Amino acid sequence: MVPARELAADLVNQVLLDGRSLTAALDSVRAGSDPRRLADAQDLAYGTLRNLGRLRFCLRVLAGRPVKPAELAGPLLVALYELDGRDTPAYAAVNEAVNLVGRRHPRARGFVNGVLRNFIRQRESLAGAAQEDAEARWNFPAWWIERMAVQYPEDWQAQLEALNGHPPMTLRVNCRKGSVVDYQARLAEAGIGARQTGESALTLDCPVRVADLPGFTEGGVSVQDLGAQYAAPLLQCEDGMRVLDACAAPGGKTAHLLESHDLDLLALDRDAGRLQRVADNLERLGLQARLSAADAGVPGHWWDGRPFDRILLDAPCTASGVARRHPDGKWLKRCEDADELASQQARLLEAVWPLLGQGGKLLYATCSLFAEENQAQVEAFLARHADAGQEAISLPGAVHGQLRPDGEHDGFFYARIVKT
User: Which residues does 123 contact at the CB level (< 8 Å), separation at least 6?
Assistant: 83, 84
State the DSSP string of 261-284: S--EEEEE-S-HHHHHHHHHHHHH
How far is residue 155 CA from its own chain's centroid? 22
| Beta pairing partners, 98 | none
Contacts of 347 (CB under 8 A, 6+ apart): 297
Sign of CA dihedral 295, 273, 208, 21: negative
The whole-angstrom separation of Cα 42 and Cα 340 is 30
Q: What is the DSSP letter of 298?
A: -
Q: What is the largest CA-CA distance in the chain?
A: 71
Alpha-carbon gap, residue 108 to 24, rounded angstroms: 29
Q: Which residues are catalytic?
A: 367
Among residues 351, 406, 348, 343, which one has the least CA distance to residue 376?
Answer: 343
Secondary element (H or E) of residue 412: strand 412-419
CA distance 107 to 98: 11
233: left (phi over 0), alpha (psi -120 to 50) or beta: alpha
CB 363 within 8 Å of CB 312: yes
